[in-house]
Amino acid sequence: MMGTAILYEYRRATTLRTTWVFLAISFVMGALTTWPQFLMLDNGFTINVSQLVARVTGVYQLTVFVIASFAALSWGHEFRFGLNRLTLSAFPRRWPVFAAKTLGIVAFSTMAWLVSVIGGVALLQLIDKANRVSYALGEVTVQSGSINEVGASVSVEQFTSWHMLGRSLVFVIVYSLIVGAVTALTRNLTLALIVPNIMLLFAETVLVMVGSLINAGAANALNQILPFVNGQRFAEWATVGQNASELVSPLQSTIVFLGWCVLLLAVAASSYQKRDA
Amino acid sequence: MRVQCEQLTKDFGKYRAVNALSFTLDAGEVTGFLGPNGSGKSTTMRLMLGLDSGSGRTLYDGKPLWAYDHPARVVGAHLDAKFFHPNRTARDHLRMLAAASGVSRARVDEVIEVVGLQTVATKRPRGFSLGMGQRLGLAGALLSKPDVLMLDEPANGLDPQSIAWLRDFVKNYAATGKVVFVSSHLLSEMELLAAHLVVIGKGTLIADEPLSRFVERSTRNDIFVRTPNPQGLIQALQSSGISAIPSGTGLAVAAGSTDQVGAIAFAHGIEIHELLARRASLEEAFLELTSSTQEYTMESTTERDA
């Protein structure tokens, strides 16, 4: 049953033009978001390919938004066009459908991430700036600093390039899964596309700022539990906090970010299992 | 294949949409599913497919649908003519559904031909008419040659030729030993299509019987007699325990057969000009037998004086 559900999901995704359009947009976004950033560097400066990747998917949230749109449409089309009833007529056991869609989102996000990275590199090749990119996957020093309104604590750490690449990819996948879960839960495509992105871009930052107006404890509490603030810290591997007792380590942020994803997926799966099609 | 629905019940908040429905569908005949608007027909079909949660169960040859390895090969359902992505071509839509039942690409092309969508198979269905949408939905339901074909209002939007084609197709499909369950508002069409009826009103079972028996239950079944001596015939019939009342140019006799009425008239020396058994149409029988369960009713078409 699981194999059949995966094949069904594969056919669903690949027979839809928007899937390919999103891949193409990911490529273009990867290129466009890389170019201006890269031109700012001095001539002769070399950037590691993993830093390039971080710029493509970590900093420019628009690329992530495009990639995650696939996840929203993957669920959203089911409810918007009544396809859910066709799907579940063929799969009365619903969990394989949910699992297949989740796998599909992971697969597409991975592919689109790769395509956006390739897009960035391809553009650099095109404008003859590729010589500035070091493709060696060695160690890189990253000054990461997600500024905490309560008081910034910027960490300067050394990572292997693989570490950065992996985090960038995981961020895209987890964000897409969250968007997919919200769509499955709300059955509202527009809402699911907009709300997580607004949260990611500024709503959570505003919340933390409002919290800091109340007191430092509230701001720190929000810092510790909000999904995308922690998601960004995971992507940047930043430690924030005013003093030792309030420090949020990158590992804690990772757990919170992944925890939100698992929680939303679990609630969405349970809802999908029980609700009328 | 035999489909048994047992105590199907569905509540929407405090409103009971389907109330302890039990009926059986047998192979080899078309079963019509009738009920006024809002009576719970579509909800019942969704319950049968496990799409809606409720109580009761539906067994397909003694097993729930989810217990089958390939449920899509057991039931093919067409529930709405607009259940497709507007930008996925008709052929791709069917290829996607084919993946669920493991049927070949050749079968996809076959059903496209069966429903007559060859010329638009590679087109996106966003511009499809309601009738074309019905054909696409039917094609999807037929893909795996399922043992049970479930169609919700499949004739809506079809032109007369297409309706005639659908009728023949569905009857022939049932004749190959399949279960066919069809809901429709087109009662004249249902009269030509179905051999058996399941009739519901306000979610409750009104009838589960052969169509002919359902129609016989109507009080509109009578015998029309035209005679130059109506009073004499009324008295003669009453003396035999049969009531008759004036009706148009003759009499309406509530019981008995044309043979019996003819024999009574002959015995009393009453001349008969016309003797006709009048059978209620399905529509008349349906309206009469479901009148108390109409969910939504309209004012008379004749406007009342202010």
Give residue A21's identity as a one-letter amino acid code. V
B92 to chain A, any CB pair closer than 8 A? The answer is yes
Residue A152: pLDDT band (50, 70, 90) is very low
ipTM: 0.81
* Contact flag B83-A87 (C-beta cutoff 8 Å): no
Range scoring the smallest mean pLDDT among A16-25, A217-226, B169-178: A217-226
Minimal CA separation from B172 to chain A, in Å:
24
Range scoring the smallest mean pLDDT among A86-90, A191-195, A268-272, B268-272: A191-195
DSSP string, chain B: -EEEEEEEEEEETTEEEEEEEEEEEETTSEEEEE--TTSSHHHHHHHHHTSS--EEEEEETTB-GGGSS-HHHHEEEE--TT-S-TTS-HHHHHHHHHHHHT--HHHHHHHHHHTT-GGGTTS-GGG--HHHHHHHHHHHHHTT--SEEEEESTTTT--HHHHHHHHHHHHHHHHTT-EEEEE-S-HHHHHHH-SEEEEEETTEEEEEEEHHHHHHTSTT-EEEEE-S-HHHHHHHHHHTT--EEEETTEEEE-SS-HHHHHHHHHHTT---SEEEEE---HHHHHHHHTGGG-SS----SSPPP-
Nearest CA in chain B to A271: B53
Nearest CA in chain A to B64: A92
Flag whether pLDDT at B17 surpasses 70.
yes
Flag whether pLDDT at A141 surpasses 80.
no
In tens, the pLDDT along B96-144 reads 999 998 899 999 999 999 999 999 999 999 989 998 999 999 999 999 9
State both tokens at B191.
């009269």
What is the model's pLDDT at position A10? 96
Minimal CA separation from B48 to chain A, in Å:
10
Range scoring the smallest mean pLDDT among A61-75, A193-207, A232-246, B167-181: A232-246
In tens, the pLDDT along B205-257 reads 999 999 988 888 777 788 999 999 999 999 999 998 898 999 889 999 987 78
In tens, the pLDDT along B195-207 reads 999 999 889 999 9
Nearest CA in chain B to A89: B49
Residue A163: pLDDT band (50, 70, 90) is confident
Q: Are strands B204-210 and B196-201 parallel, antiparallel or unpaired?
A: antiparallel
| Higher pLDDT pick, B176 / A224 | B176
The beta-carbon neighbor of B92 closest among A15, A88, A89 is: A15
- Residues of chain B with Cβ-Cβ distance to A273 below 8 Å are none
Residue A243: pLDDT band (50, 70, 90) is low
| Higher pLDDT pick, A176 / A56 | A176
B35 to chain A, any CB pair closer than 8 A? The answer is no
- Pick from A9, A18, A89, A101 the residue to mutate for testing the B interface (most B CBs within 10 Å): A89
In tens, the pLDDT along B33-88 reads 998 888 899 999 999 999 999 999 999 999 999 999 999 999 999 999 999 999 99
Residue B302: pLDDT band (50, 70, 90) is very low
